[in-house]
């Protein structure tokens, strides 16, 4: 089976065993029941070229003798892969006998298109009778025993991590609510706000099944994730089964149960670091945030554990008296009072890298503020966004650094939303993450949003009982 969309090691791992994940637009040949690495190895073995493969959840590398470079080019020539040692790429047909720098490189990344995450890497080694010696750019970075025979392959264990790549244990935390759940509506009814200055708009609680597709995007594009937690208020998606996604209830996180039930996402964000067995480093997702293409962990954290922070170009609002604007101004005041520097920008609607001990520090440093946020069942007076607070305090405390990455934001309330949804399956492959945000109602019909998400992430995850 050929699945449309760019391919990667992570996508092959999560999109299903026995699936040939290639883009119809970029791959012209190749059997349907093997991975890209296995297909290449099979082609080389048919030509009596010995090869060694390494495949794990994050990398796929095929080692080939340097003298077989022309054979590799011949194998790749009928395909539409791009061969590169940078983010660009050259057609295999242009490489043989050329003086292009990539033609002489000892490592080739095979990509479905310019800018795509590599499908796999080919490395040209010095092949001896007893052992093979690595080129200087090899990810293995040490000799390996020669394969047993001219057309045999062996799998190499123990890939040496790139010192620039993050190998930390990293979890993902989602918050989610089904605003149409009768039991949840009954819990909310006695506390429904009747005064101005409280943000309780219906769009904050409207569920279009985004969580299902956000989880699909995570499984397809981030195979390095250790565990997934879903924080809810006595709810569980009807389709969620198994134990790969751990559901955590508000009652297990809030130290004072008298503040529950809460309908304030800021209050919920103050207790995410209290999830039992949560990794020190985790990424916080709202259910309307998605990964557009395969990403490495270092999109979110440095190898040493610093959080990679992304700020918007939009400035904090000092004009309106909307609850969100007052909350951001209150956060900026707090940071300036304690750290002597003032935040100026709001955050992007992206996955947020979080550090558990940094959130614990904030809880200890600002106990009154945290208690006040948790006591407010809806966003309102005196509220501050704790995730935004943590972005700026990590930056000022040396626990994070600013480095944006390709990202897209689709406001479903705007007039161009329908057109952008129609292009979603193609457009999101250019970005690491994107958000579908309904800011004030007036969004396209739910069916249209769901259809766009289904076309973008068509393959169900194993935890979907109704798939």
Token pair belonging to 369? 């503020």
Closest CA to 3 of 17, 24, 18: 24
- What is the average pLDDT value for the chain, to the nearest integer? 84
Instruction: For residues 251-264, give the mean pLDDT.
Output: 96
Please choose, from the candidates 378, 180, 187, 390, the residue with its C-alpha nearest in 3D space to the C-alpha of residue 282.
Answer: 390
Cβ-based neighbours of 10, under 8 Å, separated by 6 or more: 57, 58, 117, 220, 221, 222, 223, 224, 294
- The DSSP code sequence of 170-182 is EEEEEE---TT-H
For 114, the token pair is 């310019």
Which pLDDT band, with edges at 50, 70 and 90, does 277 fall under? Answer: very high
C-alpha dist (Å) from residue 438 to 246, 312, 422, 466: 27, 18, 17, 26
Exposed/middle/buried for 77, CB within 10 Å: 0-12, 13-18, 19+? middle
Least confident of 9-18, 51-60, 319-328: 9-18
Q: Three-state SS across 384-426?
A: CCHHHHHHHHHHHHCCEEECCCCEEEEECCCCCHHHHHHCHHH
CATH for the 170-456 domain, from 3.40.50, 3.10.50, 2.60.40, 3.90.550: 3.90.550
Name 334's Cβ contacts closer than 8 Å, sequence gap at least 6: 366, 369, 384, 389
Stretch 255-259: mean pLDDT, rounded?
96
Q: What is the pLDDT of residues 195-216, one digit of tens each?
A: 544 555 555 678 899 999 999 9
Select from 73, 72, 69, 41 the least CA-distant residue to 54: 41
The helix or strand, by DSSP H or E, that contains position 211, with its residue range, turns out to be: helix 210-221
Better pLDDT: 37 or 194:
37
The predicted pLDDT at position 355 comes to 98
Map residue 436 onto helix, strand or coil: strand
Q: What angle do CA 299, 305, 306 make, to 5 degrees?
A: 70
pLDDT band at 19 (very low <50, low <70, confident <90, very high): very low
pTM of the model: 0.77
pLDDT for res 22: 32
Domain-wise residue ranges, the chain: 9-145, 170-456
Band of pLDDT at residue 13, cut at 50, 70 and 90: very low
With CA atoms as reference, report the closest residue to 376 among 323, 440, 318, 439: 323
């Amino acid at each position: 089976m050929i699945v449309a969309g760019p391919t990667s090691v992570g996508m092959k791992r999560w999109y299903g065993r026995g699936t040939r994940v290639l883009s119809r637009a970029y791959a012209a040949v190749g059997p349907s029941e093997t991975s890209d690495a296995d297909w290449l190895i099979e082609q080389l073995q048919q030509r009596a070229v010995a090869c060694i493969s390494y495949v794990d959840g994050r990398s796929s590398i095929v080692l080939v003798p340097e003298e077989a470079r022309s054979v590799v080019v011949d194998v790749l020539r009928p395909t539409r892969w791009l061969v590169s040692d940078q983010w660009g790429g050259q057609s295999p047909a242009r490489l043989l006998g050329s003086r292009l720098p990539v033609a002489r490189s000892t490592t080739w990344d095979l990509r479905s298109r310019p800018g795509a995450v590599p499908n796999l890497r080919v490395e040209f080694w010095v092949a001896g009778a007893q052992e093979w010696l690595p080129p200087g750019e090899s990810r293995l970075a040490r000799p390996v025993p020669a394969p047993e025979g001219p057309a045999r392959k062996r799998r190499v264990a123990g890939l040496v991590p790139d010192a620039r790549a993050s190998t930390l244990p990293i979890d993902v935390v989602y918050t989610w609510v089904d605003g149409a759940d009768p039991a949840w509506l009954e819990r909310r009814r006695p506390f429904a706000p009747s005064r101005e200055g409280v943000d309780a708009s219906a769009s904050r609680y409207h569920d279009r099944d985004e969580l299902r597709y956000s989880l699909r995007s995570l499984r397809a594009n981030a195979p390095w994730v250790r565990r997934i937690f879903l924080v809810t208020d006595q709810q569980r998606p009807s389709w969620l089964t198994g134990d790969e996604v751990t559901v955590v209830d508000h009652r297990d996180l809030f130290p004072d149960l008298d503040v529950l039930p809460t309908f304030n996402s800021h209050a919920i964000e103050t207790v995410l670091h209290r999830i039992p067995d949560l990794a020190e480093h985790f990424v916080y997702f709202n259910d309307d945030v998605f990964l557009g293409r395969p990403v490495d962990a270092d999109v979110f954290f440095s190898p040493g554990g610093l959080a990679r922070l992304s700020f918007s170009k939009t400035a904090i609002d000092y004009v309106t008296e909307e609850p969100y604007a007052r909350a951001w101004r209150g956060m900026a005041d707090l940071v300036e009072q304690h750290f002597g520097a003032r935040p100026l920008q709001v955050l992007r609607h992206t996955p947020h890298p979080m550090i558990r001990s940094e959130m614990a520090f904030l809880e200890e440093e600002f106990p009154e503020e945290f208690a006040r946020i948790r006591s407010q069942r809806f966003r309102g007076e005196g509220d501050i966004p704790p995730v935004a607070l943590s972005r700026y305090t990590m930056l000022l405390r040396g626990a994070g650094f600013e480095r944006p990455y390709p990202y897209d934001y689709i406001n479903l309330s705007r007039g161009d939303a329908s057109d952008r949804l129609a292009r979603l399956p193609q457009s999101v492959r250019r970005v690491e993450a994107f958000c579908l945000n309904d800011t004030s109602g007036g969004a396209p019909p739910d069916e249209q949003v769901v259809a766009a998400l289904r076309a973008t992430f068509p393959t169900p995850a194993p935890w979907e009982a109704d798939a």
